[in-house]
Structure 1
Amino acid sequence: MSDLDHTAALMLASPLLRGKVALASANPTGRYDAYPEEAEALKNAVDKRLRAFSAGRAAARLALKELGAPAIAIPMGEDRAPIWPPMLVGSITHTDTACLAAVGWEGEIRLLGLDLEPDQPLDDDLLPTICTEAERQWLAEQENPGQSAKLIFSIKECVYKAQYRLSQTLFDFDTLEIAVDLENQSFVAHFRQDVAPFASGDAISGRYAIGHGLIVTTVMELV
């Protein structure tokens, strides 16, 4: 991993979110100033958390500028989710060495999700928590099951972020079941139970990319 990971992350994610979405990156190993409304949520944060949060907000403001929106504060809600300005939809993600943010107009984008993870195997002891039985069966057939499990984890994080603005509901990993299309680097996530406004069986599709030691997963559904 290097201090150029944020650039690599942007290169990976950009082809996945072309069109209605503005995308930007920032380096969480650097220093950025959080706006006062944002800093309120970080009064007791350790330096690493403060850097990641501030870099994520800096990336978001770069994306807002690219979209033609004002670069204003993006506070953190009580649920720890970003509070986006009215009429905007967004998603922020980070690792220790890279931050990405994507934004779009609410009238054009229904769902927007973004997740970034190090391309490292998922710990075996997390598999029962993260993956359903069907997913574990699929993993057993993969050449690198640990990496594939990390991909499923990232997809579920991405889909959760995308759907949360509509459902405002917390749920466990097994609420979603993922089908991965390795050839097309895409996926479909099915709800295994009702999470209003989503019903059991509803699907959310997305795309992913792996490279430079990173996994990027994305959801973009137009209105």
Structure 2
Amino acid sequence: MIERLVPAGVAGAEAFDDVLPHLPDHRELALVRGRPDRVVRQFTAARACAHRCLEVLGAPPGPLLRTAGGAPAWPAGFVGSVTHCAGYRGAVAARAPVWAALGVDAEPALPLQHGVLGLIASAGERRMTSRLLGERPELPWDRLLFSAKEAVYKAWYPAARQWIGTSAVTVAFTTGGLLTAEVRPDRTPPPPARRRAEDGGTVWAGGVAARYTGRWHVEGGLLLTAVAVPAGAPTTAPGAVR
């Protein structure tokens, strides 16, 4: 699935089970010590996908640990994103001189629980999903919207180091598999105190802070969304202060 979404220069790897090509690094396992076995297996299988991407790109070997914000700590000179859900584990990675940011998210291809769409979508996005549902009723457009916002956040946070809520991300789809998104941090509620202390990143004065393009795909009971930002592209708009 993932090869349908990644552009040239981006390595992708995926797995539909938790069979590992080799034993996981003990330093990575320490990140999930004490968690349920199901979580550990998903985590290590997703990390194995990330390592396959990095090997393809010629990155030096080593553990893929975490940043202070909880995201994977990619080796210097590389960017990437990891995802996992029931029945799927995947990762994308690229050289930073070619691609500035990546985000990928996988979800079961099922509608969201009743009431969730109203919590994550603007009025315009709700109208969009209703229209698309009329055009292609076999697809869970509400879940695709949620997934796209997750993928955008994964691309946004490593660069901006600022927590944003789903209301800060506005997504538009085409029925042909494309998506676009804008981030407006001023539309998100104030973050929890813990996140304020961790982030310490950019403060936005208002307006569109970043724009993203990407793709979506649904197959075999799973859906996948991904965004990619070329290096040198203006990932953020004027109005930011540090």
TM range (shorter): 0.7 to 0.9
Relative to structure 2, which stretch is displaced further, 34-43 or 49-58? 34-43
Q: Aligned residue pairs: how many?
A: 211
Q: Give, in whole Å, the separation in 2 of the partners of 1:33 and 1:26.
A: 16
Q: Give, in whole Å, the separation in 2 of the partners of 1:160 and 1:99.
A: 18
Question: Secondary structure of the equivalent of 1:23?
Answer: strand
Relative to structure 2, which stretch is displaced further, 62-71 or 166-175? 62-71
Q: Taking every aligned residue pair, what percent have the same amino acid on both sides?
A: 28
Question: Secondary structure of the equivalent of 1:79?
Answer: coil
Question: In the alignment, does 2:156 pair up with 1:163?
Answer: yes
Per-residue CA deviations over 1:134-164 (Å, capped at 9, x if unaligned) read 1112222223398100000010000100111
Question: Secondary structure of the equivalent of 2:117?
Answer: helix
Q: Give, in whole Å, the separation in 2 of the partners of 1:64 and 1:168.
A: 23
Aligned to 2:11: 22
Q: Give, in whole Å, the separation in 2 of the partners of 1:59 and 1:22.
A: 10
1:91/1:103 contact within 8 Å kept: yes
Q: Give, in whole Å, the separation in 2 of the partners of 1:146 and 1:24.
A: 24
The alpha-carbon deviation at position 181 of structure 1 amounts to: 1.4
Aligned to 2:234: none
2:46/2:91 contact within 8 Å kept: yes
The alpha-carbon deviation at position 128 of structure 1 amounts to: 2.0
Q: TM-score, length-normalised on structure 1?
A: 0.87
The alpha-carbon deviation at position 55 of structure 1 amounts to: 0.4
Relative to structure 2, which stretch is displaced further, 61-70 or 72-81? 72-81
Per-residue CA deviations over 1:103-127 (Å, capped at 9, x if unaligned) read 1111111121111111111112211
2:2/2:13 contact within 8 Å kept: no
Aligned to 1:5: none
Aligned to 2:182: 190
Aligned to 2:221: 213
Question: In the alignment, does 2:207 pair up with 1:200?
Answer: yes
Aligned to 1:71: 61
Alignment of structure 1 residues 91-106 onto 2, 5 Å: 91-106=81-96
The alpha-carbon deviation at position 70 of structure 1 amounts to: 2.5
Per-residue CA deviations over 1:48-89 (Å, capped at 9, x if unaligned) read 110011001111111111112233210123422111111110
1:45–1:77 Cα change, 3 Å: farther
Which sections of structure 2, spanning at least 5 residues, go unmatched? Answer: 187-200, 232-242
Alignment of structure 1 residues 1-223 onto 2, 5 Å: 12-31=1-20, 33-141=23-131, 142-143=133-134, 144=137, 147-182=140-175, 184-194=176-186, 196=202, 200-201=207-208, 202-223=210-231
- Match of 1:15, as an amino acid? R
- Structure showing greater radius of gyration is 2
Relative to structure 2, which stretch is displaced further, 114-123 or 201-210? 201-210
1:123/1:146 contact within 8 Å kept: no
Q: Give, in whole Å, the separation in 2 of the partners of 1:169 and 1:150.
A: 24
The alpha-carbon deviation at position 214 of structure 1 amounts to: 1.2
- Match of 1:119, as an amino acid? A
Q: Give, in whole Å, the separation in 1 of the partners of 2:66 and 2:138.
A: 35
The alpha-carbon deviation at position 34 of structure 1 amounts to: 2.6
Q: Give, in whole Å, the separation in 1 of the partners of 2:143 and 2:63.
A: 32
2:4/2:217 contact within 8 Å kept: no
Q: Give, in whole Å, the separation in 1 of the partners of 2:72 and 2:145.
A: 23
1:152/1:178 contact within 8 Å kept: yes
Question: Secondary structure of the equivalent of 2:23?
Answer: coil
- Match of 2:181, as an amino acid? A
